């Protein structure tokens, strides 16, 4: 009888901890969002602020998507580069909503796996698609590689004025 009570207690404890772990997962992606309208708003904000839009495509099911988000929001250098240069948006891809029309208009970036990143300018033009595999290091993302990605696709990096010789 004691063994049965112990097993019952153990089962209840396990289920409670699994439920807590599930509710503790961040919900970065919203399958019910009107992604087209949200992206249009992000583009308008980016144009107003002189930034680009960083679309992070993935889902709440994607551990690498969560890892990337956690990395860039907890690392001060990456967070500063992100906030200075980009309006971020998490574009959902999940069984509930694959956003197929939007992804088709962006050149089918899901072919690279998840997360995958798209850089849009302040007019909504796609500038770059980034396969996240090139940003990975070990069981996470390389701070140096992510920073290089952010810097190479910042508004300043692609502004022709950044490359004009001074004194002419």
Span 68-84, pLDDT tens digits: 999 999 999 999 999 99
- This prediction's pTM: 0.84
- Residue 19 inside a domain? The answer is no
List all residues 6 or more positions away from 147 whose beta carbon is below 8 Å from its beta carbon: 77, 78, 81
The helices-and-strands tally (H runs, E runs) of the chain is 6, 6
| Total domains present in the chain | 1
| 66 close to 26: Cβ distance less than 8 angstroms | yes
- Residue 21 inside a domain? The answer is no
- Residue 160 inside a domain? The answer is no
Percent of the chain with pLDDT over 90: 82
pLDDT at 166: 74
pLDDT at 122: 97
Q: Residue 119 in 3-state DSSP?
A: strand
5 pLDDT more than 90: no
2 pLDDT more than 90: no
pLDDT bracket for residue 21 (50, 70, 90): very low
161 pLDDT more than 80: yes
- Residue 24 inside a domain? The answer is no
| Residue 77 structure tokens | 């250098």
pLDDT at 1: 61
**Locus of tokens 């690498």:** 64
Domain that holds residue 82: 35-155
89 pLDDT more than 80: yes
- Residue 125 inside a domain? The answer is yes
- Residue 167 inside a domain? The answer is no
| 15 close to 82: Cβ distance less than 8 angstroms | no
Span 30-71, pLDDT tens digits: 999 999 999 999 999 999 999 999 999 999 999 999 999 999
- Residue 100 inside a domain? The answer is yes
CATH of the domain at 46: 3.40.30.10
Highest mean pLDDT among 8-17, 22-31, 102-111: 102-111
pLDDT at 160: 93
């Amino acid at each position: 009888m004691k063994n049965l009570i112990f097993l019952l207690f153990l089962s209840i404890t396990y289920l409670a901890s699994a439920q807590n772990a599930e509710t503790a997962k961040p919900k970065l992606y919203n399958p019910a969002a009107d992604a087209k309208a949200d992206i249009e708003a992000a583009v308008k904000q980016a144009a107003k602020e002189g930034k680009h839009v960083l679309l992070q495509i993935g889902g709440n099911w994607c551990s690498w998507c969560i890892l990337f988000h956690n990395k860039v929001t907890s690392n001060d250098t990456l967070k500063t580069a992100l906030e200075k240069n980009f309006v971020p948006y998490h574009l959902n891809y999940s069984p509930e909503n694959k956003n197929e029309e939007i992804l088709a208009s962006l050149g089918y970036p899901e072919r690279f796996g998840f997360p995958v990143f798209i850089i849009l300018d302040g007019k909504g033009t796609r500038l770059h698609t980034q396969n996240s595999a090139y940003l990975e290091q070990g069981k996470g993302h390389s701070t140096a590689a992510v920073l290089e990605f952010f810097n190479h696709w910042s508004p300043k990096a692609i502004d022709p004025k950044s490359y004009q010789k001074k004194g002419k």
